Amino acid sequence: MDVPQLTPEEAARIFKEKNAVFVDVRDPQSFQGGHIPGALHVNDHNVHEFLKNTDKSKHHIIYCYHGNSSLGAATYFLENGFEKVHSLSGGFTKWCELFPDKVEI
């Protein structure tokens, strides 16, 4: 399954418009060290609850460190009924490089 991807610039536009849910799939320590403001942290410990309680019709943008693990996570969400999912190309690393003012610690 091909997972649609967004560039950080496209994701920043969507972030500004508040038209998507950002989902961070990195480890808890990395999430606590910094993340996209308002992002939900989803990992092995809470993924089943997330799948059960999330509005799958909303747009979800998945990100990890560099944009690799998020491809697998996005595929998993699509396979579980999410309607519109994108992976963030370059991940949180690229986001921080381009938008250091859009990082919450």
Q: How many domains does the chain contain in total?
A: 1
**For residue range 51-79, what is the model confidence (pLDDT) as tens digits?**
999 999 999 999 999 999 999 999 999 99
Supply the CATH number for residue 62's domain.
Answer: 3.40.250.10
CA atoms 78, 9, 16, 99: torsion sign = positive
- Is-above-0.85 flag for pTM? yes
**For residue range 31-47, what is the model confidence (pLDDT) as tens digits?**
999 999 999 999 999 99
Residues annotated as part of the active site: 64
Which of 35, 17, 42, 28 has the alpha carbon at shortest distance from 92? 35
**Across 27-32, average pLDDT:** 96
